[in-house]
Amino acid sequence: MAATVIKNVRVILEDRVINGGAAVENGIISRIFEGNPDFSAEIVIDGGGLYLSPGFIDTHCHGAGGCDYMDGTVMAMETAARTQLAFGATSVVPTALSGTTEQILKFIKNFQVLKSNMRNGPRMPGVHLEGPYFSAAQCGAQDPELIRAPRPEEYKKIIDEAHGEICLWSAAPELEGAMEFGRYCARNHIICSVGHSDAQWSHMETAWMNGFSRVTHLYSACSTVRRIGGYRYLGVVESAFLLKNMIVEIIADGCHIPPELIRMVYENKGADRIVLVTDSMRAAGTDAKTSVLGSLSEGQEVIIEDGVAKMADRKAFAGSVATCDRLVRTARKCGIPLCEAVKMASLTPAYSIGISSATGSIAVGKYADLILFDDEIHVKWCMVGGKTIRH
């Protein structure tokens, strides 16, 4: 692979921005420099003063470009992944909604085929199963007829046939059998995330000790403090704050939770414990006004307005239409420093799924998964593993 130098850029490091550039050899970042030294390289890219950033990593996304990861075809998966890459996601973790065992296994099989054959696309470190082990009281846009308690014979079969491709599995820890599920996932190197849950503090504390280390889209489809018999009980939200090391996802599209709440989560958890996610559905990256949540054949009709997907009755959101660049743009509008906003979309997601030693920041020895964007966080160029994918 040709040696490449990217110069005349503002390099976003973990804790500061420098004026300079980076050198890439054999798909790996080999040098980071300040100023404009004279390098000899086969390819020289002049960034024209743009920001050089680590590529974004989306660990919770259902689709984009008019396709959903559960449409049932490899081509649909590929279209969604390539659309996300165009907006800066150099690593993507396709996410499944609740489904039957057969639907989930088909989703995983299609992913395995795509991962083996993908060329000039984003990295695909694994999949995220969002469901089906959820609370009926917090089903949100998930199909209530498909949610259920964990079944050992089911999840063991899914894990066995996934052959290590499951990164994340979201579930409600208050369900019967959830702790056994969490421990089994941990033994199989799968990170459990509290999602679509009506849990109280007692459930959350126990879950933390049984493999649940994360919260799926904080504030969306999860419990908050409530009164029972006059007494107040903590919900998922307050428990996530109290469990200091628990990582939380937030859908930073500016719609699912308001800017003030994004800022509050940031002030309490910090950039090292927040993962920005799109939770994108198929309309992300398109100009569609109507769409379908989930598979085309069995999904739910939704409308797109005000920059978000809504259920047909407009009483609830139905996933976002955000791309990763929008997440960082929103975080900046909330007053979060650029390095911290980028970290929440790159290094922290990488850390949360165990790949931060290889990607997620601009550092010597890491993959050259890089993007260039302007002051408004509009992505102009992408590189994955040292190969320019988008000019």
The pLDDT tens digits of the residues spanning 88-129 come to 999 999 999 999 999 999 999 999 999 999 989 999 999 999
Report in angstroms the alpha-carbon separations of 50 from 38, 57, 225, 382, 385: 19, 20, 44, 12, 20
pLDDT greater than 90 at residue 211: yes
pLDDT greater than 70 at residue 308: yes
Task: Note the pLDDT of residue 36.
Answer: 85
Alpha carbons 206 and 173: distance in angstroms, whole number: 8
Pick the CATH number of 56-352 from 1.10.8.100, 3.40.50.970, 3.20.20.140, 3.20.20.80: 3.20.20.140
What is the percent of the chain with per-residue pLDDT over 70, rounded to a whole number?
Answer: 99
Residue 316: band (very low, low, confident or very high) from pLDDT cuts 50, 70, 90:
confident
Which pair of structure tokens corresponds to residue 166?
Answer: 């499951």
Pick the CATH number of 4-52+366-390 from 3.10.20.30, 2.30.40.10, 3.40.1370.10, 1.10.238.10: 2.30.40.10
Report in angstroms the alpha-carbon separations of 51 from 20, 114, 138: 10, 31, 40
Which pair of structure tokens corresponds to residue 271?
Answer: 């950039």
pLDDT greater than 80 at residue 294: no
Report in angstroms the alpha-carbon separations of 289 from 93, 143, 326: 25, 22, 18
How many other CB atoms are found less than 10 A from the CB of residue 374? 12
Domain spans of the chain? Answer: 4-52+366-390, 56-352
Q: What average pLDDT does range 348-354 have in this prediction?
A: 97
Task: Note the pLDDT of residue 391.
Answer: 55
Task: Note the pLDDT of residue 303.
Answer: 94
Task: Note the pLDDT of residue 293.
Answer: 83
The pLDDT tens digits of the residues spanning 217-245 come to 999 999 999 999 999 999 999 999 999 99
The pLDDT tens digits of the residues spanning 272-286 come to 999 999 999 999 999
pLDDT greater than 80 at residue 158: yes
